[in-house]
Structure 1
């Protein structure tokens, strides 16, 4: 056979039709080609394989020994090539049993994924979801496509090409609903007079509120530092402490705890939340569908 690099793969369906029909005219009709074009393709095939492939036998033609060896493998080979060139782009959420893997921090799990999981339970009942912890340094895992999606603040994902901003998150303050000293709209002095709970996943000793206070020459008292988004509101509900937290988390926690929400007495910059996915997942119809579900519930 000639060099495989120069072989025209378009000739394989012609060969399959010729060996099945054992006649040029019937193969031409099956392929919707003219008879001269089919004969020319047969000539090219004979040259490529250095074999007659079809041999005249009376009024008909019969496959050569090589052709008989090739014939059982042709259909599967053609199907495999077609699947590579034109990959299957269908995805049926109603029947899929895919296991989606999503890397997220505590905030993203509460603010985003609780609703996403509820949506998937309805629209893809046979699918499953694995939520993985999202460390600060996860580039290596993203590079090897260890998960389908990652969700966290956009700043942390800014270097990644495949990402989308989902929404902007604002900060709000919370305190227990029967706090003995805070007015309905707490002033900066009231705010600073109370102890504060700080969520610090990286064991930080300050946060965005402290940066905002520093701009006006003020400081607050940090009474509790914790890495846990969900535990902190419970602490606030049981004490006189106040806390500044992402609005979506505050609104969720206010349903379960005796909390009141109020605007920070100083402007505090919020943050964008984004999702990113490995390059290997680009164009994956299942991941495309999952991303759309996330957009739909937000």
Structure 2
């Protein structure tokens, strides 16, 4: 039997979409065509490849073995046809999804979305907060990129590229009574921290306090920077925020550096761009990586 290598792409798409209807939309063919392609693949491999589990298609053991190496092979083939020198971002069209962790939503999201929208007027940019479904969306959506902090528990389908570091400061209202930034002084006041998805349970700040054997309760954890700033403005709360947020603060606020007694991991946190492996050679991935890195430099 003649082997049709073009059919192999269907295996990857079906493993990601789990349904023939969505796979058909993604490959721009009809659902009956998908059924014919799948039947040919089953004949070639002498295996069902996918079995139905309720309303989803799940790969067989044989299919899982094939999928272990197939995506990288297809990526390498696709890379042969990519010419980054002639790639034109203005030709990007359709939906492009960008997901940002709460601190990055307040700092780099707006300029990055604005730049992408102006450079790719035919694209529709979906932009929203990083939440519990972020990694699932990155895995399932065709053109989806996320920006968040490391470390992050992901699977082998998700790639990550470093875009820089977040540096933190302590922000307070302009007439706050605190004078210095020693650890004892900071811990005398109630704290509000920006909660990043991935910090399950306690926040990163609380974990560091415990390591230092400091009994400090964080009063408020919030994923909304505006909630934090309102609380800080109206009370003696101190907020731990990204240094990249400082240009957006007005005369109602001032800030001090984090106490030098805190370990380095408290002062900085690495940031990364996340996407599915299928986007590894997409020029838009490189474009987003370069622009995000520049905004954070």
* TM bracket, shorter-chain basis: 0.5 to 0.7
The reply on whether 1:118 has 2:90 as its aligned counterpart is no
The 5-angstrom pairing of residues 33-48 of structure 1 reads none
Q: Secondary structure at the match of 2:107?
A: helix
Aligned match of 1:165 in 155, 162, 165?
162
Aligned match of 2:139 in 143, 146, 149?
143
Match of 1:240 in 2: 236
- How much has 1:86 moved relative to structure 2? 6.0
Counterparts in 2 of 1:213 and 1:131: CA distance versus 1, 3 Å: same
The reply on whether 1:264 has 2:262 as its aligned counterpart is no
- Unaligned segments of structure 1, at least 5 residues: 7-82
Structure 1 residues 50-75: Cα deviation after superposition (integer angstroms, max 9, x where no partner): xxxxxxxxxxxxxxxxxxxxxxxxxx
Give the conservation status (yes or no) of the 8 Å contact 1:157–1:276: no
Match of 1:285 in 2: 283
- How much has 1:164 moved relative to structure 2? 0.6
Measured on the aligned residues, the alpha-carbon RMSD in Å equals 3.2
Cα distance in 2, alignment partners of residues 85 and 229 from structure 1: 40
Q: Normalising by the residue count of structure 2, what TM-score does the alignment of the two structures yield? A: 0.61
Give the conservation status (yes or no) of the 8 Å contact 1:148–1:287: no
Counterparts in 2 of 1:133 and 1:193: CA distance versus 1, 3 Å: closer
Counterparts in 2 of 1:215 and 1:135: CA distance versus 1, 3 Å: closer
Count of aligned residue pairs for this structure pair: 216
Counterparts in 2 of 1:122 and 1:245: CA distance versus 1, 3 Å: same
Counterparts in 2 of 1:174 and 1:88: CA distance versus 1, 3 Å: closer
Counterparts in 2 of 1:124 and 1:112: CA distance versus 1, 3 Å: same
Match of 1:208 in 2: 204
Counterparts in 2 of 1:253 and 1:236: CA distance versus 1, 3 Å: farther
